Chains A and B, each alone.
Chain A
Amino acid sequence: MGLPLEQIIIQTINGLVNGMILALVASGLTLIFGIMDVVNFAHGELVMLGAFVGATTLGVTGNFWLALMAATLAIAAFGAILQVSTLRPLLGRDPLTTILATFGISLVLQKYALWQWGPSARKLQEPITGQFSLFYLQYPWYRIATALISAAIIGALYLFLRYGKYGIWIRAAMQDRVMAQAMGIPVPSLHIGVFAIGAGMAAASGVLFGPLAGVTQNIGADFTLRAFIVVVVGGMGNLGGSILASIFISLLEAYASLIVSPSQAVIVSFVALILTLLFRPTGLFVPTPK
Chain B
Amino acid sequence: MLTLDNIHTYYGKSHILHGVSIEVRAGEVVGLLGRNGVGKSTTLKTVMGLVRPSDGSITFEGREIGGMAAHHVAHLGIAWVPEDRRIFRLLSVMENLRTGLDRPGVTEARRTELLDKVYASFPVLAERRNQAGGTLSGGEQQMLAIARAMMLEPKIILLDEPTEGLMPRMVSQIREIIDLLHRDGVAILLVEQNVPLTLEASDRVYIMEKGVVRHHAPAADLRANHAVIHQFLGV
Residue B217 is within 8 A (CB to CB) of chain A in the complex: no
- Which chain A residues in 151-169 approach chain B with CB under 8 Å? 165, 168-169
Residues of B within 8 A of A187 (CB): 71
- Select which of B71, B103, B152 is within 8 A of A181 by beta carbon: B71
B99 and A168 contacting across the interface, CB-CB below 8 Å = yes
Residues of A within 8 A of B96 (CB): 172
B156 contacts chain A at the CB level, 8 A cutoff: no
Distance (whole angstroms) from the CB of A264 to the closest CB of chain B: 39
Chain B residue contacts of A179, Cβ below 8 A: 82, 86, 88
Contact A168 B90 (CB under 8 A): no
Q: Is B100 an interface residue (CB 8 A)?
A: yes
* A179 to B89 Cα, complex, angstroms: 12
Partner of A172, one of B69, B73, B82, B99: B99
Q: Which residues on B sit within 8 Å (CB–CB) of A180?
A: 88, 99
Q: Closest A residue to B89 by CB, please name it.
A: A175
Task: Name B63-113 residues within 8 Å CB distance of A.
Answer: 69-71, 73-75, 79-80, 82, 86, 88-91, 95-96, 98-100, 102-103
- Cα A283 to Cα B89 with chains together (Å): 19
Residues of B within 8 A of A169 (CB): 99, 102
Chain B interface residue count, Cβ-Cβ cutoff 8 angstroms: 25
| B8 beta carbon closer than 8 Å to chain A | no
Would you call A183 and B152 a contact (CB within 8 A)?
A: yes
Verify B91–A168 contact, CB threshold 8 A.
yes
Tell whether A176 is near chain B: CB-to-CB under 8 Å: yes
Contact B91 A171 (CB under 8 A): yes
Is B204 among interface residues, defined by CB-CB distance under 8 A? no
Interface residues on A, range: 10 to 19
> For residue A185, which residues in chain B have a CB less than 8 angstroms away from its CB?
71, 99
Is A178 located at the chain interface by the 8 A CB criterion? yes
Interface residues of A in 180-206 (CB under 8 A from B): 180-188
CB nearest to A179 among chain B residues: B86
Within 8 Å CB of B100, what residues of A?
A: 183-184
Contact partner of B70 (CB less than 8 A), chosen from A165, A175, A182, is A182
**Known pairs A172-B88, A179-B86, A183-B74; A188 contacts B99 (CB<8 A):** no
CB contacts (< 8 Å) of A168 on chain B: these are 91, 95, 98-99, 102
Q: For the complex, give the distance between the alpha carbons of A233 and B56 in Å.
A: 48
Q: List chain A residues, Cβ under 8 A from B159.
A: none
Judge whether B71 and A184 touch: CB under 8 Å: yes
Contacts of B79 in A (CB 8 A): 182
Q: How far is the CA of A184 from the CA of B91 in the complex (A)?
A: 17
Among B74, B75, B86, B152, which residue has its beta carbon within 8 angstroms of that of A176? Answer: B86
For residue B146, CB closer than 8 A to chain A, the reply is no
Chain B: CB-nearest residue to A181: B70
- CA gap between A254 and B102 in the complex, in Å: 45
Q: Which of A175, A178, A184, A188 contacts B75 (CB 8 A)?
A: A184
Whether B102 and A165, one on each chain, are in contact in the complex, defined by CB atoms closer than 8 angstroms, is yes
**Which of chain B's residues 146-187 have a Cβ closer than 8 Å to chain A?**
148, 152
- With a CB–CB cut-off of 8 A, which chain A residues contact B74? 181-184
Please give the distance in Å from B89's CB to the nearest CB on chain A.
Answer: 6
B48: Cβ under 8 A from any A Cβ = yes
A182 partner residues in chain B, CB cutoff 8 A: 48, 50, 70-71, 73-74, 79-80, 82
Within 8 A of A (CB), among B164-222: none
Question: Can you give 13 A-B contacts (C-beta < 8 A)?
Answer: A168-B102, A171-B88, A172-B95, A175-B89, A176-B86, A179-B88, A180-B88, A181-B50, A182-B71, A182-B80, A184-B74, A185-B99, A186-B71
A residues lining the B interface (CB < 8 Å) = 165, 168-169, 171-172, 175-176, 178-188
* A168-B98, A182-B79, A183-B100 given; 15 more Cβ-contact pairs under 8 Å: A165-B98, A165-B102, A171-B90, A172-B91, A172-B95, A172-B99, A175-B89, A179-B86, A181-B50, A182-B70, A183-B99, A184-B71, A184-B74, A184-B100, A185-B99
Chain B residues with CB under 8 Å of chain A are 48, 50, 69-71, 73-75, 79-80, 82, 86, 88-91, 95-96, 98-100, 102-103, 148, 152
